[in-house]
Chains A and B, each alone.
Chain A
Amino acid sequence: MSSKTRFIGAVEIGTSKITVLIGEYTGRELAIIGYGECQSRGVVKGTVVDYKAASECTHSALEAAEQGAGERIDFVFLAQSGSHIEGFYNEASVNVKSADNMVSQLDVDTVCSLATAKELPAGRMVVHNLRRPFRLDGRIVPGSPEHLVGRRLESGYWIVHGQENKLADGIHVIRGFNLSVRELILSGLASGHMVTTPEERHNGILSIDIGAGTTDYVLYRDGCPFVTGVVAVGGSHITNDVAIGLRLTEGQAEKLKIHHGRAMIAPGSKGEKVWLDGNFAIGDRQFPRHTIEQICAARTWEIFEVVKKKLGPSFSPEKCAAGVVLTGGTSKLPAIAECAAKVFGVPAHLGEAPSTVSQNLREPGYNTALGLLYYGLSSQTEAAPRSAHRKSANLFQRILAGF
């Protein structure tokens, strides 16, 4: 990034709401200067299904954020979620070429290219190539292996890919506002980056972002994203079950869930009744608290079970010393951390944004948008020196070739 001030928009097109944050990045510091939010329409399970409705909502949020900031956005970091997002692991190894067995940049580039060289089925596109730590003769190298001595260099990538047309839909919504998408970032990665510390990521932590339509998870190990995934269930499914179970409308069920729902059944809730509205209006009625809690707890438990099942052998309590961290709008459900701890068998806690973030943006629902800015900028900053180094190396090689 250059030292010129940039105004970056972080856009999360979620199932329940669309959030836009504007960050003023001076090259050294990032300040949040604008905020816009709009109730989402035309988005189901994190995927745009009604272009016009989704565009209108997103553009309203973008316009509100720009008006609040008093600046125009230069480019956008867009969050990507949805059940079409998948990932797989691919690794490669090379023998160190130099005679003294010192790893060169050429070896690193070769093994990285091999590890990311994997053809995808038609209609699939890479969203992220998440590199796991290098291994040199079997030992883990946290940083760059260049100039280290060894015989065999191994590298592995967790490759995140998605459906081309669904990725394009989100990008086109932003382009409809005459803005370009500079980075497409997995929602779980963005929120995970925000609610975990480097130490926790090094020790191993599972970040679960439970939104309205989807649940994104990222398992960190050795300081890197180890496995990512998206489950097409979220808070709206709990609401839906409450609505069906108690024969209520979605709005009424959502209200009951927010006010009386729990991810674990409270011991003294049996026999207790709660009012739907509590204002003694016509149509107001009572429901057993125990039933509401039962439905919420069962569905929450199920969500975590699905995540655990999808993680498979990648997740083991021994390699997840920092436990589970929960974020997203549904993480506000009482006792959800206890539920997660029981399912995964490790300590669980609610994620909090760093103390540098202002109080009004410390709600769990904003972690993805905040993470977009921080993760997007850090990934760009990392990419910039690498590309500069590569360009200078190529130029140097060309000069050498001339002789």
Chain B
Amino acid sequence: MSEQPGIFPTARSWREIPQEVAPRAMSKTGRRRYTIAIAKVVAGVAFAGAVTWGAVSLITAIEYHPASIARADDVGPVKPMPDFTTDGVLTAEWAAKTLAIPKTASLMELNLSLLQSRLLASGQVRVAVLEKRFPDTLVVKLNERTPVARVMVQDGSSAPTMYFAARDGVVFQGDGYARSFIEQLPWLDGVHLARQNGRFEPIQGMDAVASLIAQARYESQHLYSLFRVISLARFASDGLIEVRSPVCQSVEFTTHEDFFRQLAYFDYICDAMKPTPDNPLARIDLSLGRNVPVAFRDPVGSHSKGAVTRSTQVDASADAQHGSAITFPSLFQRNPTQREL
């Protein structure tokens, strides 16, 4: 029977109709499906080819070049200096000292989590990424915190020590900063530091302080250079940041309003009153919007018992004797450009 059906005449079946795809006969959707199908086939073939090539390469390497495959137990001691990268001021030497890797330790023996925790113990390091690069190199990549202000801390009976505070409120000792950089940082006052797990708890309000300082540095460097002490004593209760400077004993900024406008008022008042370190203003309260009370120090020999507050429109210089409140025009408030100032 296996040969018998061949002797009978056979009619052609519809299955003999060729079902090849003729691209010209395809619709847009059909072409898209066809392209996807082709792409799938190509991707499949490429993947299979890559797997095959990888397998062949591996077999070849194992058979003919076994030395080219580094064995994990053959790795030597790790290099004393890591391959170090940072976006701050820390150095490879600092990293090596902090990591304290034994000289004879091999790369396989390193516990990266432990090493990472050593790096992060210094509050100056925000993110630490460690990577083993065989056969003997440890790669360290750091992302550092930038100090916003400095704070003097006296822990128990020990001598006072200078710390730095970052934008996220983390207090750290800091390492590697230039003296000139440190000296231009304002001091922080009115904060209560508490220790937890051997580290200081983050300071609340540092984000606002950082914004104020950044705005001052960006908009008016001459004002920023006057910032000596920044007090957060009234931050929690009133949302106020007090800045002490040589030209004014107390300038109060509020966190509820834009720092730009407050700085502009401060600049205007400084220009109008022309205070000097020898004749500073007593207090400028920038937290009341357009009305800015300004308190003056009593002139030498005066018998005034305190600041007397008066309202005036703009001409503050005429009242620059005892005390006044300067009301800024609304136009200035809406669009406080330099020209209007």
Contacts and interface: CB of A to CB of B under 8 A. Distances in A.
Given A175-B25, A178-B33, A109 B5 contact: yes
Contact of B37 (A55, A171, A178): A178
Interface stretch (B9-17, B72-80, B119-127, B193-201): B9-17
A162 B1 CA distance: 29
A175 B27 CA distance: 10
B25 A51 contact: yes
Contacts of A168: 17
B2 interface: yes
B159 interface: no
Central interface residue in B4, B8, B27, by most chain A CB within 10 Å: B27
A285 B27 CA distance: 44
Contacts of A62: 29
A106 interface: yes
A114 B12 contact: no
Contacts of B2: 394, 397
A389 interface: no
B10 A117 contact: yes
A59 B29 CA distance: 7
A120 B11 contact: yes
Contacts of B37: 178
A113 to B, nearest CB: 5
B19 interface: yes
B27 A180 contact: no
A55 B29 CA distance: 10
Contacts of A172: 22, 25
Given A51-B25, A59-B27, A164-B17, A117 B9 contact: yes
B170 to A, nearest CB: 50
A119 interface: yes
A289 to B, nearest CB: 44
B30 A118 contact: no
Interface in B9-51: 9-14, 16-17, 19-22, 25-27, 29-30, 33-34, 37
A246 interface: no
B11 A119 contact: yes
A125 B29 contact: no
A228 to B, nearest CB: 15
A127 interface: yes
Nearest to A398: B2
B26 A178 contact: yes
A320 interface: no
A397 B20 CA distance: 35
Contacts of A164: 12, 17
A56 interface: yes
Interface in A67-111: 106, 109-110
| Chain B at the A interface: SS class | loop
A241 interface: no
Given A59-B29, A178-B30, A125 B12 contact: yes
Given A118-B11, A178-B37, A63 B4 contact: no
Nearest to A401: B2
Given A59-B30, A106-B1, A110-B1, A125 B25 contact: no
Nearest to A114: B8
Contacts of A138: none
A164 B16 CA distance: 10
A171 B12 contact: no
Interface in A307-342: none
B27 A176 contact: yes
Contact of A125 (B1, B9, B11, B19): B11
B12 A120 contact: yes
Nearest to A117: B8
A276 interface: no
B8 A161 contact: no
Contact of B8 (A51, A55, A113, A394): A113
A18 interface: no
Contact of B14 (A56, A167, A176, A394): A167
A393 to B, nearest CB: 9
Contacts of B29: 59, 62-63, 177
A317 B11 CA distance: 34
Given A59-B29, A127-B14, A175 B21 contact: yes
A394 B27 CA distance: 44
A149 interface: no
- Closest 3 A-B residue pairs measured CB to CB? A117-B8, A178-B33, A178-B34
Given A178-B26, A181-B19, 7 more contacts: A109-B1, A110-B4, A116-B11, A117-B10, A120-B11, A175-B25, A176-B30
17 contacts: A59-B29, A113-B8, A116-B10, A119-B10, A120-B12, A125-B11, A126-B11, A168-B17, A172-B25, A175-B19, A175-B21, A175-B22, A176-B22, A178-B34, A179-B33, A181-B19, A184-B14
